[in-house]
Structure 1
Amino acid sequence: MSLRGLRMLLLAVPLPGLAAEPPVHEFTLDNGLKILVQEDHRAPAVVSQVWYKVGASNEYGGITGISHMLEHMMFKGTQKHPPGEFSRIIAANGGRENAFTGQDYTAYFQTLEASRLPISFELEADRMRNLKLVEAEFAKEHQVVLEERRLRTDDQPRAKMQEHFESVAYSNSPYRNPVVGWPDDVAGLTLDDLKHWYGRWYAPNNATLVVVGDVKPEEVLKQARKFFGPLKRSELPPVKPQTEVEQLGLRRLAVSVPAKLPHLVLGYKTPSLRTAADEADAYALEVAAGILDGGNSARFSSRLVRGQQIAAAAGAGYDLYARLANLFTLEGTPVQGKSLAELEAALLEEVRKLRDEPIAADELQRVKAQVLASHVYQLDSMFYQAMQLGTAETVGLSWRKVREYVDRVNAVTAEQVQAVARKYLVDERLTIAHLNPLPLPEGAPAPEDAAMGGGHVR
């Protein structure tokens, strides 16, 4: 499954009675494997995730999509466990497993009854260094990935638009390349390409093991040493800065494909937490996204959807935990009878108000409280807790940054939100894309109505 970055909109305010998050125990094996363990004894279950510090943003022209292709091949067996055996063993033990690829990482996970954690460790350690890459399995999975690209991007107008939008919004950042890869690059991937990529990046000193659940940290460490400890580390290549060049003016593009509805995407160049010169800017951008799209009381819902009734749907997004500078995005679909130009003007007017008009204290507090409910609900998931830790660690922050989140967002002021809007949400940093629907072939279903299943395809 390809994920376009994980948006963690976790705005929060103090809540009486909110229990402190349990401590994270950190270990590092002699071979460089980092281990993060968080106890959660509410149920006799455990989530285990292995995060590799390699994703689409590490790729270059000619091999885009290789991280995603290798993710598929990781289920195709080792000398010890033939193709299909990994999934069969997990299922036989009552577990679930899957994987995903993003711009900044590739991750593999299992959810099991707690006492079966060693089974996960044995299987993951085996394929970390002993993957058996053979032509027959590659040829079959190569076709699966090509079909996945067709179904999830080429035949989906909004996904197609998003792909073209990002390739225009970024000049030289690797984020301009799709996680699934460009069609010719994916079609041209070879088994030797995958062997090189696997040998280069899949090593204990390029990975983080995250375990959350009904476990004891010292026992997790003991089992990790047993299964992962013997693995040899690799000589990792240096990762180059890959800094996006300065944008020199507003950019526009139009995508015309068969589609049922028009759509609009706007993206402003903004720093992530990792790349911001002042971390306070990143947290203020996070709050700004919540003001625009933080629930039913947020501005887009109250003003554009219900108020002016110009948008059938509208949203805002910002990825705080990205490895590189990225985009603060706005998107929407106009209601019938309204044009993309009218919706664009309405979205830009809301951005102007962020820049020019101070945010009322009660609105700022309401936005934080609104998203706190979502934050607390998500923390009820062991999987989500592990995702937070793994993402922050893998993009080059520390898991400790996750624990700073509530206090840092609570410290954001209305003046800081206005300041970052004036600094970053300006035309010189903006790219605008319109999806202009072409007529659908007679009898064809609307692409937007097609089912979009999630998960690793195999």
Structure 2
Amino acid sequence: MHKLVVITLALLFSVAANAQPPATHAFQLDNGLKVLVREDHRAPVVTVMVWFKAGSFDEAPYETGLAHLLEHMMFKGTEHLGPGEFSRLVARFGGSDNAFTSYDYTAYFQQYEVSRLPLALELESERLKNLKIDDQAFKKELQVVMEERRQRTDDNPNALAWEKFQAVARPGTGYAHPVIGWSNLLAQLQPEQARSWFKRFYVPGNATLVIAGDVTEAQVKPLVNRFFAGLPAGDTPPRPRQAVNPPAGERRMTLHLPVKVPALYMMYNVPSLTTAEEKKTFYALTLLGGVLDGGLSARIESRLVRGQRLAAGAGAGYDGLNRGDGAFTLTASPNPGVSLDRLEAALKEQIQQLAQTPPSEAEMDRVRAGVLADQIYQRDSVMGQAMELGMLSTLGLDWRLSEQFSENLEAVTPEDVRDAARRWLVAERSAVAHVIPEEQP
């Protein structure tokens, strides 16, 4: 290995091993609300996030898109705030706000200069106590979301191809339908369904409040009690664990769509950090993803893209931070004259080589350094720290896992990576899609 690379790796692991984790405090209100406070005194700023264990994963088949639609309605008014006034107040006091819905959770955030922390907490408690879902406002926002779907998916052949593939790749789980919802069901949603969703899932015992920035626990606790302790506890809804177990068997599909270039999708149903019987599986699959696609030196890029020139672009990745099972995905677009069958065989050959022969220690060191660097960079911002804390807590994981990440990566051996490829990246756990440009008239 080049001397400079060795020095860089040593520095990265030294920083990770010796850096003192920032002070983090956890407490819980009597109504069930979990609170995490992360101290970061580098700048006088604060991020406030409220996370709910409510995502499209929790939707019944007839209500797809409801979690995302309710996210929109959370900005449309309360008993004391008119439509859009929430965000206007945030902007008036120099802040920014937004929200996002995923399969596993919905989260809302505000960012300010630190003296505005009371305002942020008061605004969040206001919409939890006094949200109004007006029938006309709901119908208007439903049209906005349907237009969003048209632009992002229905009029985007590549997004449409991925949506169809996802439905086959993760059968029997809440991950099989899109977060934004199926268009025909989305159009039929009613205001009362949104009100019911809010009552079911937006209760203190189903939420985590994260406050990160130039704050202390002593500052935060009285404010949290002031604005949130009076919220009724409600009933925490059940959330059954979903897994593709036993394996669904090999699934294949061919899609003819108006895409500009052909594409190959491959997905393997694998454990996540929450569903793995042995937690080392998560870290082994993470490093396996890095061996295949972790920069210019990774196997797919060096061998299939720049080496054999089979692919114009290709990649692999492991999505292992989920409430349900994870997914190990490979995607590629062939160069002209290369068939999708040939490209698929080449990708599977790289997997087979790993399943037979462990990566070298030098390769493992390079991949560990890349994965670790990504995590360090993500945690550099206050927002990144709040995201990490909220996500781990909402998935039911210990937020301290982030402090153990480097140690757990270091414990993974080359043989663990080989065994992960051998056990999990197999045909009975796979789904494959060939996306082919449809003939133009």
Same fold (TM over 0.5): yes
Match of 2:8 in 1: none
1:113-159 per-position Cα deviation (integer Å, ceiling 9, x unaligned):
11101111111111123210001111110000001111111112222
Please give the secondary structure, in 1, of the residue aligned with 2:98: strand
CA distance in 2, matches of 1:417, 1:212: 35
Q: 1:414 and 2:414 equivalent?
A: yes
Tell me if structure 1 keeps the 8 A contact 2:54–2:104. yes
Q: Which moved more, 1:401-410 or 1:142-151?
A: 401-410
Listed as ranges, the gaps of 5+ residues in structure 2 are 1-10
Deviation of 1:440 after TM superposition, in Å, equals: 6.0
Match of 1:316 in 2: 316
Match of 1:131 in 2: 131
Structure 1's 287 and 161: CA in aligned 2 closer, same or farther, altered over 3 A?
A: same
**Higher RCO structure (Cα 8 Å, ≥6 apart):** 1
Q: How does 1:109-188 map to 2 (within 5 A)?
A: 109-188=109-188
Tell me if structure 2 keeps the 8 A contact 1:146–1:187. yes
Match of 2:13 in 1: 14
TM-score by length of 1: 0.91
Tell me if structure 1 keeps the 8 A contact 2:203–2:235. no
Tell me if structure 2 keeps the 8 A contact 1:259–1:440. no
Q: How does 1:334-345 map to 2 (within 5 A)?
A: 334-345=334-345
Which amino acid in the other structure matches residue 185 of structure 1? Answer: L
Question: Superposition RMSD on alpha carbons, in Å?
Answer: 1.5
Q: Which moved more, 1:334-343 or 1:350-359?
A: 334-343
Q: 1:252 and 2:261 equivalent?
A: no
CA distance in 2, matches of 1:333, 1:93: 47
Tell me if structure 2 keeps the 8 A contact 1:295–1:371. no
1:275-325 per-position Cα deviation (integer Å, ceiling 9, x unaligned):
111111111001101111112211122112211111121111212211011
Which amino acid in the other structure matches residue 214 of structure 1? Answer: D
Which amino acid in the other structure matches residue 60 of structure 1? Answer: A
Tell me if structure 1 keeps the 8 A contact 2:242–2:325. no
Tell me if structure 1 keeps the 8 A contact 2:212–2:383. yes
CA distance in 2, matches of 1:440, 1:56: 36
Higher helix share: 2
Tell me if structure 2 keeps the 8 A contact 1:283–1:320. no
1:421-450 per-position Cα deviation (integer Å, ceiling 9, x unaligned):
111011111100111112568xxxxxxxxx
CA distance in 2, matches of 1:270, 1:399: 22
Match of 1:72 in 2: 72
Please give the secondary structure, in 2, of the residue aligned with 1:255: strand
1:335-362 per-position Cα deviation (integer Å, ceiling 9, x unaligned):
2332222221111111111101121110
Deviation of 1:249 after TM superposition, in Å, equals: 2.7
CA distance in 1, matches of 2:21, 2:424: 33
Tell me if structure 2 keeps the 8 A contact 1:49–1:386. yes
1:23-70 per-position Cα deviation (integer Å, ceiling 9, x unaligned):
210011111111101111111111111000010111111101100000
Listed as ranges, the gaps of 5+ residues in structure 1 are 1-11, 442-458
1:165-217 per-position Cα deviation (integer Å, ceiling 9, x unaligned):
11112221111111111111111100011010111111111100111111112
Q: Which moved more, 1:342-351 or 1:331-340?
A: 331-340
Match of 1:90 in 2: 90
Q: Which moved more, 1:12-21 or 1:193-202?
A: 12-21
TM-score by length of 2: 0.94
CA distance in 2, matches of 1:398, 1:132: 34
Please give the secondary structure, in 2, of the residue aligned with 1:14: helix
CA distance in 2, matches of 1:180, 1:412: 37
Structure 1's 16 and 325: CA in aligned 2 closer, same or farther, altered over 3 A?
A: closer
Q: Which moved more, 1:263-272 or 1:308-317?
A: 308-317
Tell me if structure 2 keeps the 8 A contact 1:259–1:439. no
1:392-428 per-position Cα deviation (integer Å, ceiling 9, x unaligned):
1101112122222111111100000111111101111
Deviation of 1:384 after TM superposition, in Å, equals: 1.1
Match of 1:5 in 2: none
CA distance in 2, matches of 1:186, 1:16: 48
Please give the secondary structure, in 2, of the residue aligned with 1:286: helix
Q: 1:261 and 2:265 equivalent?
A: no
Q: Which moved more, 1:169-178 or 1:264-273?
A: 169-178
How many equivalent pairs are there? 430
Structure 1's 248 and 141: CA in aligned 2 closer, same or farther, altered over 3 A?
A: closer
